[in-house]
Structure 1
Amino acid sequence: MSALTYEVKDRQSPVAAWLGVTFPQHKEIQAEFRVGAGAQQVLMPAGAAPGTQGAAIDFWLRMLVDPQPSIALPLVGLLSGRARCLRAGKELLHELAAGESPRQTANREVELRMRPAGFADRGDELWARVCYALALLVELYRAESVEHSRLMRLNASSGAADLLALANDVEVADLVAMRALAVERLLPVLPAGPVTTGMTFEGSADLAADADLIAGGMLVEFKAGQGGKPRADGSRAASLPRTDLDQLLGYTLMDYSDHHGLHVVGVYAVRFGYLASWPLADLGQRMGARAVDLAALRMEFAGV
């Protein structure tokens, strides 16, 4: 089964084609986002892998708002057998889950959760290394090739300490800086209400999709990209690719029966410390150039 994130990047995909025709207007929203984000606050360090850093900070931001974030995907990656780090991964995940055993849900998904509050005495450096390790394990599940993964430095006798040592000091400092910026700029503006992270949707049975955060009816995706091309002075402007907007629309439409009660969607630009959000009715009307019937569009998207 394919994934929404892959489909929206393939302009030949029926999913991307339908979203493009149904919601053709996007340039004005992109321009507003670029201006609103302002200057980049946390620069990507040289030599860091953007994908791994992005996945690592995703985990850390989820831990800031969710008392029981899922660590099921790292477990699935670990059990794939694509790297000889089974002992190291098991030690880390067992500790994070406080001894809780993984279980399968009714739809046969693996479920494993951690409780960050139980590790309140851990410093930022250790948390950064934990999140980096979790990101590497997820890559075993998601990445097409893992032959150059740092996990290949480990062997069958490696332990959790070896896994945590894979992040270098520059990457750790980068993650700590992004986390600190989020505490200052994201947490205070999240709406009150129930919080869930790493959630799936009804449509995830048709097309794999799991989102970052829902807080008080607002769906938020974390984006840790550097922004556009470097200017002459090395600075960058924030960017909001069409694929990011399609991802938000896709998640919303895959909630076929409105189980999550979404009414606002947003993007948090991690390196800019900027949260942009749009009421669904407003976003749909602006991108579709007409008033939208969300229930009807969900049925149509399910067909696609």
Structure 2
Amino acid sequence: MMDRTAVGGWPSLTTALSDRTSPVRAFVTVRFGRWQDLQARYRESVGPLVVAGGRANPATIGSAFDWMVRFMTHPRPDLRLALRGARTPAVRVAVRELALMLGYREDPGTPRFEGPVSDTEIDHELLARACWSLALLTDVYRVGLVPGSPLAELGSSVTADRLLELAPLNAIDELRELRASAQSTLMPALAARRGAWALGPTFEGSRLMKADADLVAAGLLLELKTGLGSKRPDGTRRSSLEAATIMQLLGYVLLDFSDEFAIEAVGVYNARYAHLATWPLPDLLTELAGGPVDLEKERAGFRDLLAG
């Protein structure tokens, strides 16, 4: 998820892919647009809804869950994304106070490490409140301080405690359920992946087009989702693999021009359904392209498109 700020004349990857007239979207869909069978298999593989939606803002829940997973994979993940959303000295001081409460010292944490690493020992309610605050700050960095943001109501009298108080009780409960879902399904799968990990990774191509993924775990590029999915005629929910998600994963793969992250598989985890789906990258590209793919050549073509 990225903001709409242009880099080198290009909007963010997410914005470009949502624009049906964008040459970036055309590049992806013309080469890798055969995803109907993949979507059908995904729908068949997902079980029932596990964590229902509540009254909390769903977008903020999604962003807060991203932060939750970062803390579940490293005790001190990099906070700089949220710090970029601290637009005033008072908010920056409050965020640093919050970091101290979460066990940070002077450093803002690490975005890359050899994983897996043990889960955080922070109190669950404190972590949920902190992730909600970090999500609000991240949104400020990505789209600005929008009307109605709880951060706008704090004014200059902001402290770490007041940041923590922004999380509504229903959001804390929902995040607690999503964490439990991830603890039982996602984390055991990730624990088997030993090697180079990156939280919120940016790519070589991010210098030409803003893009940061959720997680790379020893070659697995993973997208985290908290969507409720669509309703069936009987009113029950079902999860689906949206074309936007597929294009987003492909965009990240293409932006890794020099294969810095050695991506060998991609996946989607929907916490509300406790469902993890992964696909070996070569097999996925072959299916979506309808034939063999020279990934190095495709990345070079994508780079030329963005640079030109």
* Global fold match (TM > 0.5): yes
Partner of 2:83: 75
Out of 26, 40, 56, the residue aligned to residue 35 of structure 2 is 26
CA 1:261–1:112: 2 relative to 1, 3 Å = closer
Partner of 1:154: 154
CA 1:113–1:278: 2 relative to 1, 3 Å = closer
Q: Given that residues 227 and 237 in structure 1 are in contact (C-alpha distance below 8 angstroms), is that contact kept between their aligned partners in structure 2? A: yes
Q: Deviations over 1:112-137 (max 9, x none)?
A: 779997962x3211110010000001
Percent identical across equivalent pairs?
Answer: 38
Q: Given that residues 100 and 112 in structure 1 are in contact (C-alpha distance below 8 angstroms), is that contact kept between their aligned partners in structure 2? A: no
**Uncovered stretches (5+) of structure 2, i.e. residues with no partner:** 1-6
Superposition deviation, residue 88 in structure 1: 2.8
Whole-Å separation in 2 of the counterparts to 1:267 and 1:9:
19
Superposition deviation, residue 259 in structure 1: 1.1
Superposition deviation, residue 157 in structure 1: 2.0
The yes-or-no answer on 1:244 pairing with 2:250 is no
Equivalent residue letter for 2:227: G
Whole-Å separation in 2 of the counterparts to 1:259 and 1:204:
13
Q: Given that residues 221 and 265 in structure 2 are in contact (C-alpha distance below 8 angstroms), is that contact kept between their aligned partners in structure 1? A: yes
Q: Given that residues 94 and 159 in structure 2 are in contact (C-alpha distance below 8 angstroms), is that contact kept between their aligned partners in structure 1? A: yes
List aligned pairs for 1:216-231, cutoff 5 A: 216-228=218-230, 230-231=231-232
Whole-Å separation in 2 of the counterparts to 1:200 and 1:192:
20
Partner of 2:183: 183
CA 1:188–1:86: 2 relative to 1, 3 Å = closer
Equivalent residue letter for 2:264: H
Partner of 1:88: 94
What secondary structure is seen at the aligned counterpart in 1 of 2:222? strand
Partner of 2:66: 58
Superposition deviation, residue 7 in structure 1: 1.3
Q: Deviations over 1:244-290 (max 9, x none)?
A: 00111111111111111111000111111111111111111111111
Superposition deviation, residue 18 in structure 1: 1.0
Q: Given that residues 8 and 15 in structure 1 are in contact (C-alpha distance below 8 angstroms), is that contact kept between their aligned partners in structure 2? A: yes
Q: Deviations over 1:195-241 (max 9, x none)?
A: 2211111111111111111112111110111111x234432110111
Provide the alpha-carbon RMSD of the alignment: 2.3
List aligned pairs for 1:101-140, cutoff 5 A: 101=107, 120=121, 122-140=122-140
| TM-score normalised by L of structure 2 | 0.88
Q: Given that residues 111 and 201 in structure 2 are in contact (C-alpha distance below 8 angstroms), is that contact kept between their aligned partners in structure 1? A: no
Q: Given that residues 198 and 216 in structure 2 are in contact (C-alpha distance below 8 angstroms), is that contact kept between their aligned partners in structure 1? A: yes
Equivalent residue letter for 2:134: L
Equivalent residue letter for 1:251: Y
What secondary structure is seen at the aligned counterpart in 2 of 1:275? strand
What secondary structure is seen at the aligned counterpart in 2 of 1:271? helix
Whole-Å separation in 1 of the counterparts to 2:30 and 2:90:
46
Superposition deviation, residue 177 in structure 1: 0.3
Superposition deviation, residue 92 in structure 1: 1.5
CA 1:114–1:134: 2 relative to 1, 3 Å = farther
Q: Given that residues 87 and 157 in structure 1 are in contact (C-alpha distance below 8 angstroms), is that contact kept between their aligned partners in structure 2? A: no
The yes-or-no answer on 1:208 pairing with 2:210 is yes
Question: 31-40 or 169-178, which moves further after superposition?
Answer: 31-40
Superposition deviation, residue 53 in structure 1: 0.4
Whole-Å separation in 2 of the counterparts to 1:118 and 1:298:
35
Q: Given that residues 83 and 92 in structure 2 are in contact (C-alpha distance below 8 angstroms), is that contact kept between their aligned partners in structure 1? A: no
Whole-Å separation in 2 of the counterparts to 1:246 and 1:204:
16
Q: Deviations over 1:60-105 (max 9, x none)?
A: 1111113441111110000x34x97444334213544623155xxx
Out of 13, 21, 25, the residue aligned to residue 12 of structure 1 is 21
| TM-score normalised by L of structure 1 | 0.89
Q: Given that residues 86 and 156 in structure 1 are in contact (C-alpha distance below 8 angstroms), is that contact kept between their aligned partners in structure 2? A: no
Q: Given that residues 270 and 276 in structure 2 are in contact (C-alpha distance below 8 angstroms), is that contact kept between their aligned partners in structure 1? A: yes
Equivalent residue letter for 1:72: R
Partner of 1:255: 256
Q: Given that residues 98 and 160 in structure 2 are in contact (C-alpha distance below 8 angstroms), is that contact kept between their aligned partners in structure 1? A: yes
